[in-house]
Structure 1
Amino acid sequence: MTFADLGLGEHVLKALRDVGYETPSAIQAATIPTLLAGRDVVGLAQTGTGKTAAFALPILDRLDVTQKTPQALVLAPTRELALQVCEAFEKYASHVKGVHVLPVYGGQGYGVQLSALRRGVHVIVGTPGRIMDHLDKGTLDLSELKYLVLDEADEMLKMGFAEDVETILADTPATKQVALFSATMPAAIRRMSKQYLHDPEEITVKAKTTTSATISQRYLIVQWQQKIDALTRILEVENFEGMIVFARTKSATEEVAEKLRARGYSAAAINGDIAQVQRERTVNQLKSGKLDILVATDVAARGLDVERISHVVNFDIPTDPESYVHRIGRTGRAGRSGDAISFVTPRERGLITSIERATRQPLTQMQLPSVDEVNVTRLARFDDRITEALGDTARIERFRDIIAHYVEHNDVPEVDVAAALAVVAQGESPLLLEPDAEPERRPHEERGPRSSTSDRGARGDGDRGERRPRSGNGRFATYRIAVGKRHRVEPRQIVGALANEGGFSRGDFGSIQIRPDFSLVELPANLPQESLDRLADTRISGRLIEIRPDTGAPQRRSFDDRPPQGDRASRKPRHGTSRD
């Protein structure tokens, strides 16, 4: 089947040929003829299946350019998606003379929107909140609206736009044609479709897999504190063009972007606190190549379609497969290849199984790039810079005489002069990583934990009140942490926090004594400083543990110090750390 078989006019078909579209997707093949016939549609399809063309092409095919009041309204949940849909309309309307499309969203000045509305607009693509503002102000006339599209309706409801959407639907002509697209069909969407759509045809498109086969999906087991260093190494060895790094919180996006900039990368953050003007500027910089890395939250990145995105990195892996699918869908679009890399802490290992089960595609475990791999990449990049400089023959010729003069008057080999110039160009940063920079890989990281260490502690010794000392003279040393009975900590919490953040296995723990204001924990006697550094920011029950070697001999808790059996039985366990 071709687009010509769907009943579209020549002016639309010509635009499709210009952009290289030949064969309609499943949602397009099923939806376009139905909309052209005038029926309402409920389309159930995942993002990235071609929904925009499915409703934009029929609308453009039937527009009356002589009518100056809006004929079509598309509601989208986010500014980014609204802009993306608007760009698609303009692209498909390249051979339809006189068509005016206007994006309407919060954060943009009213002046631009009001001027365009006064001149006359055929298609409006906007977010519910700003559309409601214009309706309340009387600056938007929808009395002659013919087509209304709800794009990603489930997301609009999740974001709290349900009342606005229903108000807009009720205030538009009853004779309009409505198309509702959603990835899921919750009860609220079902009720809305029954109330506001007239005898809609329900079209469901289920992809064979929920993630594109063109995306390579990998994951790296990494401790929380090592994520920035791991990301830096990956950036060194991966051949990427543009990248989106997903973080879980707004503050994390700013922190990660700042640390990447400090390491010399062109990175910026977008989140809900960023002003719209700055967001648009940042996205345009990413598109143009002035920016290489975008650090974003889920909501801020929704609707982004940037052709340069070759890699997506889940700095914080999402807890639900649907978010994972949406995230990695930012790369590998329209048949292009892409790479998705997820950082997984040892306790998050189970999320990989959930994602694989939901997407029906395996994720490949990768290892942190080694020092040798990083150095090979750095040397290759250094060689490329030399080769590029040698191509500037005019400047090379001018410097050749200067170098020859230096060699003649200082009796220094030319290769030494070249090496000295490389030192000057490199500055204080070493060109190559030193071998001792290789992070220690513990056995449980290489094999992958069979189960969460925290859970093992809970099932094992945690309920006994304290751990018994292990055998072996000199094997353990005692460390003091700044949480105790009055902070309501339990041995299982201490085991879970130290194991997850410090990379310890079950056999690395000796006795645990919980005192009123602090606790004593036996850990391996030869504990390296880097292990203590990894624990510097660890919290239990919301408090920094401030781990340090205990200066006195460990004092065993007597039987009388232990809480009564009834108290232990009634106390509710508190799992994890505040970071969770």
Structure 2
Amino acid sequence: MSSEYESTPFSFTDFDLSAPLLQAVNDAGYETPTPIQQEMIPHVLAGRDVVGQAQTGTGKTAAFALPLLSRLQPGKSKNPQILVLAPTRELALQVAESFTEYGKHLKNFNVLAIFGGQDYNIQLRQLQKGVQVVVGTPGRVMDHLRRGTLKPESIHSLVLDEADEMLRMGFLDDVEWILEQLPGRKQTALFSATMPPNIRKIAQKYLSDPVEITIKTKAVTAQTINQRCLVTTGGFTKKIDALSRIIEAESVDGILVFVRTKIQTVEIAEHLVALGFSAAPLNGDIQQSQRLRTVEQLKAKKIDILVATDVAARGLDVERISHVINFDIPFDTESYIHRIGRTGRAGRSGEAILFVNPREQSMLRSIERATRQKIQPMNLPSVADINKKRIEQFKEKITTALQKDISFYENLIAEYLEQTQVEPLQLAAALAQLSQGGTPLLKDEPKFRDEPAPASRRSQPVKTARTARPAEQRPKPRKSMAMQLPPEEGMERFRIQLGNNEGVKPGNIVGAIANEADINSKFIGRISIFDNYSTVDLPFGMPEDVLRVLQRARIGSKAMKLQKIADTTSQPSIQQKTKRRSADTRKQDQIKTPGISANL
């Protein structure tokens, strides 16, 4: 069964929802159900297993939350009845908030979000008090099931939200294990933006005669939005410089900058404030009241720039947003369309600028196909462009000042000229300099040359002298040695105390880190797995609190014990270590694993 996005006179009152839920829907301002809600709610109310294929932003949370809340069994208030699995902490919190909002008029109703990185005691206290709905990430849900703190017997309904994302993050085995631990499960709902074969296998194995509903979106961008892209290289510092240049050179009003992580919202906002811009972060960790105040400040022109994540900016409609800048390219076309839809609304014109790394060209092409528009490349504004803009703005300030009552200053200047006999032009120039304070009006040309981006493994040049040697004279690599390339720019290498001997796979490492530290899997770099340990590259400068969480994180039942590998670039090469061991035979019996440094 599939549906198109079309207007419909259908109403929420046409569903057999309880009065408290209809009241919550009315409080939320919902008027008509979205297509997936219209088609999904009756089947979930009837107790059927369902498979829904729909993109983010189509209203699928209400499509399963409202009917499942209608099926809550009174008298079992102490035990969880509904379990929702979500791939990330952000989504788990978002879904839990939606359940809380929809169930606010139900008596003795409680929702709990459980995820890695939060103290177990907080979650345990709430479980002991009693909750009806648990929303969690797979890793933490598994921990509670093993500990016996999450009772599976009373759970009659299970939701797998964004199943394809859980598959991509390496949670497939975890999800299957959880499914097998729910003996009382009578209803299962699976939602996914795409339907890869592994997801279909789960549906066939664990769902009973499910109703399949596919929602096809006709998402295109408004013709009033001018879309451009800028190819960026050189890492975070260069992107910040590019962002500041664009903000200065463009004719801007309100600006919305989209990034991938909550940490980045704060970091980039602080950078912009340090450069003299009025900016503020907007992310899911900021309290709702503070987020509302920040949006009101943007509307009132007290701040000009919001640096936000996708979730935090959902539903944001501020008339003065003239520019949407994608500091990080989104992972799917739907997110891009939602992002740039914050400008160019109600017939107004808007500008959308996308930062693209050379390795992200395929995603750029996907976005162009989805939006049915060519995204025009743009050049980075030069220092001359910025200085021209600064001069124009300075002249505008003078023009604005001349329109005000300046009679007092006219008399003061006339008196000064009579006393000093200074040329009026010189006096005007001196006053202009005073108005600037210690900040020069014009931007200086950079005194350094841009360094080229490091070569990738595929494009790295091979030394001519080495290739010139005949094949039979070239030294043969030792199979027992594991050669590792250094981390890419902007990354640091970490050691994990688990390897092949423990059956660790790359997907396990990605899933554990993404789940426990709320790091998107796209930010996890090269992974190498050895017999007794593994290494993983993570973004440079990870916060200490995040590292502490990862040190305690587990893969299955075993602790990762993640530790930073200090000064990776200065580590001696494998060949140097081999020579050193050959020269010093007295240390050979102290070395248990040939070819691996003791501090790795």
Counterpart of 2:218, as a letter, is: K
Counterpart of 1:13, as a letter, is: L
Work out whether residues 25 and 49 of structure 1, in 8 Å CA contact, stay in contact via their aligned partners in 2. yes
Q: Distance in 1 between matches of 2:398 and 2:121?
A: 48
Which residue number in structure 1 is paired with residue 36 of structure 2?
A: 27
Listed as ranges, the matches of 1:191-206 within 5 Å are: 191-206=201-216
Q: Secondary structure at the match of 2:33?
A: coil
| Matching of residue 46 in structure 1 with residue 55 in structure 2 | yes
| Matching of residue 80 in structure 1 with residue 94 in structure 2 | no
The partner residue of 2:365 within 346, 350, 353 is 353
Superposed CA deviations along residues 501-534 of structure 1, whole A, max 9, x for unmatched, are xxxxxxxxxxxxxxxxxxxxxxxxxxxx87xx12
Which residue number in structure 2 is paired with residue 468 of structure 1?
A: none
| Matching of residue 90 in structure 1 with residue 111 in structure 2 | no
Deviation at 1:182, TM superposition (A): 0.4
Superposed CA deviations along residues 9-62 of structure 1, whole A, max 9, x for unmatched, are 333222222222112111111111111111111001111111111111112233
Listed as ranges, the matches of 1:270-349 within 5 Å are: 280-281=285-286, 288-289=293-294, 292-294=305-307, 303-308=311-316, 313-315=325-327, 317=329, 323-326=332-335, 329-330=338-339, 332=341, 340-344=352-356
User: Structure 2 vs 1, CA of residues 29 and 217 (structure 1 numbering), >3 Å: closer, same or farther?
Assistant: farther
- Unmatched 5+ residue regions in structure 2? 1-9, 298-302, 473-486, 490-524, 526-600
The partner residue of 2:161 within 151, 158, 173 is 151
Q: Distance in 1 between matches of 2:14 and 2:223?
A: 28
Counterpart of 2:451, as a letter, is: L
| Matching of residue 181 in structure 1 with residue 191 in structure 2 | yes
Which residue number in structure 1 is paired with residue 258 of structure 2?
A: 244
Superposed CA deviations along residues 346-402 of structure 1, whole A, max 9, x for unmatched, are 7866754343124434434455557667865897699899999x99xxxx9xx99x9
User: Structure 2 vs 1, CA of residues 333 and 350 (structure 1 numbering), >3 Å: closer, same or farther?
Assistant: closer
The worse-fitting range, judged by mean Cα deviation, of 177-186 and 371-380 is 371-380
Listed as ranges, the matches of 1:212-251 within 5 Å are: 213=222, 216=225, 218-222=227-231, 224-225=233-234, 227-236=239-248, 237=250, 238-246=252-260
Which residue number in structure 2 is paired with residue 517 of structure 1?
A: none
Listed as ranges, the matches of 1:457-468 within 5 Å are: none
User: Structure 2 vs 1, CA of residues 373 and 142 (structure 1 numbering), >3 Å: closer, same or farther?
Assistant: same
Give the fraction of aligned pairs with identical amino acids, expressed as a percent: 46
Which residue number in structure 1 is paired with residue 19 of structure 2?
A: 10
| Matching of residue 264 in structure 1 with residue 265 in structure 2 | no
Work out whether residues 230 and 353 of structure 2, in 8 Å CA contact, stay in contact via their aligned partners in 1. no
Deviation at 1:331, TM superposition (A): 5.7
Work out whether residues 246 and 313 of structure 1, in 8 Å CA contact, stay in contact via their aligned partners in 2. no
Q: Distance in 2 between matches of 1:5 and 1:326?
A: 31
| Matching of residue 363 in structure 1 with residue 372 in structure 2 | no
User: Structure 2 vs 1, CA of residues 413 and 168 (structure 1 numbering), >3 Å: closer, same or farther?
Assistant: farther
Work out whether residues 245 and 312 of structure 1, in 8 Å CA contact, stay in contact via their aligned partners in 2. no
Which residue number in structure 1 is paired with residue 538 of structure 2?
A: none
Deviation at 1:343, TM superposition (A): 2.3
Counterpart of 1:264, as a letter, is: G
Which residue number in structure 2 is paired with residue 162 of structure 1?
A: 172
Q: Distance in 1 between matches of 2:222 and 2:194?
A: 22
Listed as ranges, the matches of 1:429-508 within 5 Å are: 429-431=439-441, 433=443
Work out whether residues 69 and 121 of structure 1, in 8 Å CA contact, stay in contact via their aligned partners in 2. yes
Deviation at 1:152, TM superposition (A): 0.3
The partner residue of 2:130 within 97, 120, 128 is 120
Q: Secondary structure at the match of 1:205?
A: strand
Which residue number in structure 1 is paired with residue 451 of structure 2?
A: 535
Deviation at 1:91, TM superposition (A): 2.1
Q: Distance in 2 between matches of 1:52 and 1:335?
A: 27
User: Structure 2 vs 1, CA of residues 349 and 141 (structure 1 numbering), >3 Å: closer, same or farther?
Assistant: closer
Listed as ranges, the matches of 1:393-432 within 5 Å are: 426-431=436-441
Q: Distance in 2 between matches of 1:22 and 1:314?
A: 32
User: Structure 2 vs 1, CA of residues 538 and 162 (structure 1 numbering), >3 Å: closer, same or farther?
Assistant: closer
Q: Secondary structure at the match of 1:22?
A: coil
Q: Distance in 2 between matches of 1:215 and 1:56?
A: 36
Q: Secondary structure at the match of 2:188?
A: strand
Pairwise CA RMSD of aligned residues? Answer: 5.1
Deviation at 1:197, TM superposition (A): 1.2
User: Structure 2 vs 1, CA of residues 112 and 362 (structure 1 numbering), >3 Å: closer, same or farther?
Assistant: same
User: Structure 2 vs 1, CA of residues 565 and 206 (structure 1 numbering), >3 Å: closer, same or farther?
Assistant: farther
User: Structure 2 vs 1, CA of residues 266 and 10 (structure 1 numbering), >3 Å: closer, same or farther?
Assistant: same
Q: Secondary structure at the match of 1:133?
A: helix
Q: Secondary structure at the match of 2:241?
A: helix
Q: Distance in 2 between matches of 1:562 and 1:178?
A: 59
Q: Secondary structure at the match of 2:146?
A: helix
Work out whether residues 229 and 375 of structure 2, in 8 Å CA contact, stay in contact via their aligned partners in 1. no
User: Structure 2 vs 1, CA of residues 144 and 541 (structure 1 numbering), >3 Å: closer, same or farther?
Assistant: closer
User: Structure 2 vs 1, CA of residues 244 and 408 (structure 1 numbering), >3 Å: closer, same or farther?
Assistant: farther
Work out whether residues 114 and 123 of structure 2, in 8 Å CA contact, stay in contact via their aligned partners in 1. yes
Q: Secondary structure at the match of 2:285?
A: helix
Aligned residue pairs total 442
Deviation at 1:314, TM superposition (A): 3.6
Which structure has more relative contact order (CA 8 Å, sep 6+)? It is 2
User: Structure 2 vs 1, CA of residues 544 and 163 (structure 1 numbering), >3 Å: closer, same or farther?
Assistant: closer
Counterpart of 2:209, as a letter, is: D
User: Structure 2 vs 1, CA of residues 53 and 564 (structure 1 numbering), >3 Å: closer, same or farther?
Assistant: same
Deviation at 1:233, TM superposition (A): 2.5
Counterpart of 1:357, as a letter, is: R
Q: Secondary structure at the match of 2:254?
A: coil
The partner residue of 1:138 within 115, 131, 148 is 148
Which residue number in structure 2 is paired with residue 490 of structure 1?
A: none
